[in-house]
Chain A
Amino acid sequence: MDSRFQFPPINLRLRYDAGKYPDGREYPAVDEYRPLSLLGADLPELFAYTGSGDQIPPPERNRPLVELQVANLLQMISTPYPWQEEWVAFWRDHFSLFGGDGNVRAFLPHWERTVLREHCWGNFGQILSASAKHPSMLYYLNNQSSRAGSANENYARELFELHTLGRSAYLNNLYAQWRKVPGALIGNPVGYIDEDVYEAARSFTGWSVENGAGIGGGQSLPKTGRFIYVEAWHDNYQKRVLANEFASYAGAMKDGERVLDLCARHPATAHFLASKLVRRFIQERPTPEMINSTAQVFSEHRASPKQLTMVYQHLIELAQKLPHVERLQVRSPMRAVAVLTKAVGLNLDVSEGKIVGPLNEAAPALYGWRSPEGPPVSMTQRLSSAYLRGRVQLLQGVAENWWSTGEWNPFDGLGPKRTFAQLLDRWQAPILGGQRPGLSSALLASQNTNPNEVVSDMRRARRLVGLLACAPSFQTESILPSVAEFKMAMTRSSQGGLV
C-alpha cells in the first residue's frame, strides 16, 4: 500500500512583514505564492527552520507545519482512498508530536514522510524504531538531551506507556521490585514498573540529534538535524529491562535497540494496540473478542514486513459483521470538507491558506496536541462545544466562500423557477446520502423562509445548502473500506497504479 502524498501541485501564499533578527540583521517583507517545497525536504534543509543560525526569518519558521497541514487537506480531497488517510492519522496520533515546539516542528514533513507514511502499512517494530531515531521525537520527548549519570526519563516512560505496552501494563502500584512482577523470574514479566523506565532511560542515553552541541575536547556535532549516537553520553553499564539482563558495553545503540525490540514484541503491546485500533476504527465499546482477535493477528504477523496491513484487513473483516450504525465514527474536519466539496462540485482553492486557521478550530490541529497521549477520539470529545462550533464555522465557511476557497453553483440541475424547497431537496442526497422526510420544510421554517418562494440569490442559496452539512449524520461515517475495495487498492498499489 502506498500512502505517500499524491495531489496536484499548488502554490501556497506566504506573507509576512519585514523585521530584524536578534543580531540586528534585517529580513525583507515577503508576499508570494510558493510551492510546497518542504514536504520532500531532507533533514539538513529542515534544520534551518529550527531557527539555528537565524537563516530563516522567524515568521517563516512554521512553514514546514503549514505545508503539512495544507498537504493533508489536499490529499484528503484528491485521494480515492480516504480510509488510508485515517490510517495515517491513527499513527500520527499514536506517536503524537507537538508542533508548538520549534525544534519538533521543523522536521515534521520528514517525520510524516519517512516514519508515518513510509511505515504505516509495514511492520510495527520498524515504525517504532524509525520513530525513536527521528529528531522530532528525540526533541519532543527530550531524549536528545539525555545523558549518562542522570538520564532523562521522558522518552522511556512514554515509550512503555503510550507507544507500546500501554498503561494497563504499568504495574507500579502493585510491585516495587522487578522480580515481583508475575513472569519476571522466567524472563516474561506481564507488565512494567518504574525500575524498567529508569533502566530503559539509561539504555537510550546518547541517542541524540546532530544539532551543533559540544561533545567535549573542543569538538561539536555537525548541524544537520540527523540522528546520532554519541558514545560519550551513553551509560554503558549493565541494565535490566523487562527482566532481561543487558551486559555492560553491549556496543553502539545495542541497549536502546534491544529495549525497542522487547517492547515491540511484548504481548501487552499487541493487546494495547489492538484495543486502540478497534476503538478508533470500529466502535468505542468493543467486545473483548474483537480486541483479542486483533491482538492475535498483530502477534502472529510480528515478523512480517506487512504486519500492519494484515491487522488492517482483520479490522475490516470485523467491521463488516456489524450494522453500519454501530460503527460510526466522527469525521475529521478535513474529511468533512472533502465530502462537502465533492458533493457540491467545488474545486477547493487553498492557495490563500486562510482555511488553515478554521480547520484547526474544528478539532485539535494536526500536530497541535501538547501532551504525548494524543488528541481524544470519543464522539463526545470530538464534538465538544468548541469543536462543534468550529466545525459549523468550517462547513458554512467553505459553502459560502469565507476564505477565498472558491464558489460553486447551487442552482446546478435546477430550472429557472426553482423554489427554496426544491433547492434543498436537490442537495440533500449528495450531501446527506439520502432524503430526510420533512427536512427541507423544517429547515426553511427555522430560517423564516417560505419554501414555495422562488430562490434567485446565489449567496443565500449556498448558505442554506451549507446548513445541510451541519446535520448530525454529516458529522459521522464508517470510513473502513469493504474487503473487496481494500484488496483492489492493494493490487493497484503493487502494480504501481498509485505512483
Chain B
Amino acid sequence: MKRRQFLQTSLAGYLGSLGLPFAGITDLAFAQSPQNQSGQAGLGQKSGLILPASRVPLIVVFLRGGADGLSILSPLDDPDFVAARPPEMRFVPNHFNTQALQTGSTALYWHPAAEPLAKLFNAGRLVPWVAVGFGDETRSHFEAQEIIERGVTSMQVLPDNLGWMARDVAAHAQKSRAGLLPLFAGNNYQPSVMQGADGVLSARDLVNGINYPGGPASFRALQTLCRIESGHPASRIMLEIANTFDAVNQAFPKTVEGKVQPYASAGASPYPNVDPAVGLRSVARIVQANVGLQYAWVDHEGWDTHEYQVGRLNNLIRDFSNSLIAFDEDMQAQHQPYSLVVMTEFGRRLRTNRSNGSDHGHGSLAFVMGSSLAGNRVYGDWPGLTSDALDRGVDLAVTTHYAEVLKQAVAWGTQST
C-alpha cells in the first residue's frame, strides 16, 4: 500500500505541509487534523466523527455491499486493469464518454448505464472522488459499514455508543435551532448511523405521508397508552415515534378532505419507482416540509456482486444514476440548497473471480452532489493499479479518508447559502 501517496493528495495537502512523518491514514485523518488540534469540530480517535455544523441538509446515499467503483468509473486503458479483468468483465465506452475523466495520468470512463451521472458531472453538480476509505484493513461488510456509520477509525476503539449522525445532532444541539426532525432515514429500518438518537423517522416511502393506521385517533391512543405505561422499557421509544409521526404528518400539505397530498417532484426527471429513488423522494418531501432536517440517510442495497456482476451492475448503476438526477432536479427546481454524498463500505478486488464477479476489496469510489461544488474534476489521488501500488497486493489503495469527503461536502453546502 502506498500510504505515502496520501500525503500528496490535494485535500491532504495541508497535512503534508505540516511535515508529518510517515503514518497510517487513520492516524493522519483522525488524530492530526487541524480542526481537531484547534478544538473545533473534527474527528478524534477519542471523540469519533463530528462534522462542522451544516447549514444545508446533508444526505448520504449508501451503496450497501461494497460497490465496484472500478466498474462505475472504469480505467479501461490501464494495462493493469485490462490484465486483471477479462473482456466480459469490462465494457466498451458509450457515446457520452467522448472525453474521459482524468485522474493523474489515468483516464476514467463512465459505465454505459451512468449517463445521468455524466450529465450531472458536466453540469458541475456532481464530482467523483476516487480511492476513498479508511486505514483499517477490514474486508468485512458489517465491520466496514459499522466503522463508517459510527464515524470511528476502527471498531477496536469506540468513543461512545452513537452513530455519527446521532452524535453530530447532539453536539450541535445548542447552536442550531431545535428542529422537529433532525434525522431521517429513507428506509424502513433505522441505520446504525443514527444509533442512539430518539424519535428517528425511518420510512422508505412518504409519497402519501405516513398513513398511520386508524388515523389521528389511533395516534392519540398510542400516545395515551405510552403515558399510562411510562415505566415500561418500550414506552419511551414508542412515544417518541408516535409524537414524531404526528408532528411530521401535520407539516405535510393536505387536500381539501384533509388527507396528505401525494408528493410530486418539481423537477423534469421523475423519480423512478425503485431504490434509492423512493427513499430520496421521501427525503425531498421532508426537506420541503421544513421540519429542521439536518441529516438524511438512504440505503441502496445489492452491490455485493460476487457473481453475475455485469448484468447486476447494469441495473444497479442505472437505478442509482436515475435516482440522483431526479433528486437534484427536484431540489434545483425548488431552489433548495443541499449536499449529498454517495459512499460504500469498500471497493472490490481488482482481479475478478471465476463466477463472473468480484470479491471484497479496499479503496472505493465516492461522489459528492450538491448545489455549490467546485466541480468538473475528479477529486482524490489515484494510487494506480500496479501490483506495488495495490493495498496488500490485491486491492485499490485508499488515499482519502471518508471523513474528508463528508467534511468537504459540508463545506461546499455551507458556501451555497
Which A residues lie at the B interface, using CB under 8 A? Answer: 141-142, 145-154, 157, 161-162, 167, 170, 172-173, 176, 194, 197, 325, 328, 330, 361, 364, 370-371, 373, 376, 379-381, 383-389, 392-393, 396-397, 436, 438-439, 442-443, 445-448, 463, 467-468, 470-473, 475-476
Is B210 interfacial (CB-CB < 8 Å)?
yes
A384–B200 Cα gap in the complex (Å)?
8
Q: When the two chains form their complex, are residues B238 and A388 in contact, meaning their CB atoms are under 8 A apart?
A: yes
Asked whether B234 lies within 8 Å of A147 as measured between CB atoms, the reply is no
Q: Is the CB of B218 within 8 A of A476?
A: no
Instruction: Compute how far the CA of A376 lies from the CA of B213 in the bound complex, rounded to whole angstroms.
Output: 24
Stretch at the interface among B14-22, B318-326, B348-356, B406-414: B348-356
Q: Which residue of B lies closest to A467 (CB)?
A: B221
Q: Are B213's CB and A473's CB within 8 A?
A: no
Complex-state Cα separation, A473 to B231, whole angstroms: 10
* Minimum Cβ distance to chain A for residue B112 (Å): 24
**B156 part of interface (Cβ distance < 8 Å):** yes
Query: B138 to A146, Cβ gap below 8 A?
Result: no
User: CB-CB < 8 A to B218: which residues of A?
Assistant: 392, 396, 467, 470
Q: When A142-B306, A145-B307 are in contact, do A154 and B359 touch as well, CB less than 8 Å? A: yes
CB within 8 Å of A: which of B196-236? Answer: 200-204, 210, 212-214, 217-218, 220-229, 232-235
How many angstroms between the C-alpha atoms of A468 and B392 in the bound complex? 58
For the complex, give the distance between the alpha carbons of A146 and B353 in Å: 8
B234 touches A439 (CB 8 A): no
Q: Could you jot down 21 A-B contacts, CB within 8 Å?
A: A142-B306, A149-B354, A150-B352, A152-B354, A154-B306, A328-B233, A361-B188, A371-B304, A373-B142, A380-B190, A385-B200, A389-B210, A392-B218, A393-B213, A397-B213, A438-B228, A446-B217, A448-B217, A467-B225, A472-B234, A472-B235
Closest A residue by C-beta to B308: A145
Picked from A147, A157, A162, A385, the residue with its CB within 8 Å of the CB of B354 is A147
Q: A176-B392, A438-B228 are in contact. Are A387 and B189 (CB under 8 A)?
A: yes
* Across the A-B interface, the 10 shortest Cβ-Cβ residue pairs: A386-B188, A393-B213, A145-B355, A446-B220, A154-B306, A147-B354, A472-B234, A446-B224, A472-B235, A153-B359
* Contact (A150, B351) CB under 8 Å given A373-B141, A436-B228, A447-B220: yes
| B82 at interface by CB-CB < 8 Å | no
Of the listed residues B200, B304, B359, the one surrounded by the most CB atoms of chain A closer than 10 A to its CB is: B359
Q: When the two chains form the complex, which single residue of A161, A197, A371, A472 contacts B226, counting CB atoms closer than 8 Å?
A: A472
- Quick check: A386 and B306 within 8 Å, CB to CB? no
User: Given A147-B355, A172-B139, are A370 and B301 also a contact pair (CB < 8 Å)?
Assistant: yes
Does B384 sit within 8 A of A, measured CB to CB? no
Q: How far is the CB of B155 from chain A (nearest CB, A)?
A: 8
Complex Cα spacing A483 to B302, Å: 43
Asked if B141 and A385 sit within 8 Å, CB to CB, the answer is: no
Is residue B237 contacting chain A, with contact meaning CB distance below 8 A? Answer: yes
On whether the beta carbons of A173 and B233 are closer than 8 Å, the reply is no
Query: Bound complex: CA of A304 vs CA of B229, how far in Å?
Result: 45
Known: A145-B307, A370-B302, A389-B213. A384 touches B226 (CB 8 A): no
The answer to whether B137 has its CB under 8 Å from any CB of chain A is yes
Q: Which of these, B189, B234, B304, B359, contacts A476 with CB under 8 Å? A: B234
B contact residues around A364 at 8 Å (CB): 189
- A121 CB to closest chain B CB, in angstroms? 28
Q: Does B30 contact A (CB under 8 A)?
A: no
Q: Which residues of A contact B222 (CB under 8 A)?
A: 392, 470
Interface majority SS (helix, strand, loop, mixed), chain B: loop
> Would you call B42 an interface residue if the criterion is a C-beta within 8 Å of the partner chain's C-beta atoms?
no
B142 touching A161, Cβ below 8 Å = yes
**Closest B-chain residue to A176, C-beta based?**
B392
Q: Which residues of the other chain, B, contact A194 by a CB distance below 8 angstroms? A: 137, 139, 392
CA of A403 to CA of B186, assembled, Å: 28
Instruction: Indicate whether B160 reaches chain A with its CB closer than 8 angstroms.
Output: no
Q: In whole angstroms, what is the CA distance A473 to B357 when docked?
A: 48
Q: Is the CB of B360 within 8 A of A153?
A: yes
Instruction: Check A385 against B241 for contact (C-beta < 8 Å).
Output: yes
| Chain B residues whose CB sits within 8 angstroms of the CB of A471 once the complex forms | 225, 228-229
- A386 contacts B138, C-beta separation under 8 Å: no
Task: Verify if B136 is at the interface (C-beta below 8 Å from A).
Answer: yes
CB atoms of A146 and B224 under 8 A apart:
no
B234 contacts across to A, CB distance below 8 A? 328, 330, 379, 383, 472-473, 475-476
- Distance from A163 Cβ to chain B, minimum over Cβ atoms (Å): 13
Contact: B190 with A384, CB < 8 Å?
A: yes
Instruction: Knowing A392-B213, A475-B238, say if A470 contacts B189 (CB, 8 Å).
Output: no
In the bound complex, residues from chain A placing their C-beta under 8 Å from that of B224 are 442-443, 445-446
Smallest distance from the beta carbon of A325 to chain B beta carbons, Å? 7
- List of A residues within 8 angstroms of B190 by Cβ: 380-381, 384-385
Question: Known contacts being A154-B306, A167-B140, A389-B210, is A473 close to B229, with CB within 8 Å?
Answer: yes
Chain B: CB-nearest residue to A445 = B224
Given known contacts A152-B306, A381-B190, A443-B228, what 16 new A-B pairs fall within 8 Å (CB)?
A141-B306, A154-B307, A157-B359, A167-B142, A170-B138, A172-B138, A173-B137, A371-B301, A376-B189, A385-B190, A389-B210, A436-B228, A467-B221, A471-B225, A472-B234, A472-B238
Distance (whole angstroms) from the CB of A155 to the closest CB of chain B: 9
Q: Judging by beta carbons under 8 Å apart, are A443 and B306 in contact?
A: no
Q: B143 near A: Cβ within 8 Å?
A: yes
Question: Considering the chains assembled together, what is the distance between the CA atoms of A322 and B352 in angstroms?
Answer: 52
Q: Of residues A147, A149, A384, A463, which shows the largest number of chain B Cβ atoms within 10 Å of its Cβ?
A: A384
Cα-based distance from A468 to B351 in the complex (angstroms):
58
Tell me the bound Cα distance from A364 to B142 in angstroms. Answer: 18
Interface residues of B in 282-318 (CB under 8 A from A): 301-302, 304, 306-307
Collect the chain A residues with CB atoms within 8 Å of residue B48's CB. none
Q: Are A157 and B213 in contact (CB under 8 A)?
A: no
Partner of A386, one of B204, B217, B232, B304: B204
Q: Which residues of A contact B359 (CB under 8 A)?
A: 152-154, 157
Check B151 for interface membership: any CB of A closer than 8 A: no
B189/A386 in contact, CB under 8 A:
yes
A142 pairs with B354, CB closer than 8 A: no
Q: A154-B359, A161-B142, A439-B228 are in contact. Are A383 and B237 (CB under 8 A)?
A: yes
Q: Which residues of B contact A448 (CB under 8 A)?
A: 217
Q: In the complex the two chains form, is A153's CB within 8 Å of B353's CB?
A: yes
Kindly list chain A residues whose C-beta atoms are within 8 Å of the C-beta of B351.
150
CA distance A379 to B233 in the complex (A): 9
Cβ distance A332 to chain B, nearest Cβ, rounded Å: 14
With CB as the reference atom, state the residue of chain A lying closest to B189. Answer: A384
Is the Cβ of A153 less than 8 Å from the Cβ of B212? no
* Docked-complex contact B306 and A325, CB < 8 angstroms: no
- Chain A residues near B200: list those with CB within 8 A: 384-385
- Known contacts: A167-B143, A370-B301. The answer to whether A152 contacts B307 by CB under 8 A is yes
Which B337-371 residues have C-beta < 8 A from chain A? 351-357, 359-360
Known pairs A167-B140, A386-B203; A152 contacts B357 (CB<8 A): yes
Cross-chain contact B202 with A385 (CB below 8 angstroms): yes
Give A396 to B221 CA distance when docked, in angstroms: 12
Given contacts A153-B306, A443-B225, contact A385 B353 (CB under 8 A): no
B379 part of interface (Cβ distance < 8 Å): no
Distance in Å from the Cβ of A232 to the closest Cβ of chain B? 13
Q: Is the CB of A385 within 8 A of B203?
A: yes
- For the complex, give the distance between the alpha carbons of A473 and B222 in Å: 12
Q: What are the residues of chain A within 8 A of B233 when measuring CB–CB?
A: 325, 328, 379, 472, 476
- Determine the chain B residues whose CB is within 8 A of the CB of A176 once the complex forms: 137, 392
Cα A483 to Cα B214 in complex, Å, equals 41
Q: Is the CB of A150 within 8 A of B354?
A: yes
Nearest CB to that of B230 among chain A residues? A472
Give the docked Cα–Cα distance between A380 and B166 (Å).
14
Which residues does chain A contribute within 8 Å of B201, judged by CB atoms? Answer: 385
Of B155, B187, B304, B355, chain A has the most CB atoms within 10 Å of the CB of: B355
- Considering the complex, which residues of chain B in the window 149-202 have a beta carbon less than 8 Å from any beta carbon of chain A? 154-156, 187-190, 195, 200-202
Shortest beta-carbon distance, A384 to chain B, in Å? 4
Rounded to whole angstroms, the CA-CA distance of A152 and B156 in the bound complex is 28
Q: Which residues of A contact B402 (CB under 8 A)?
A: none
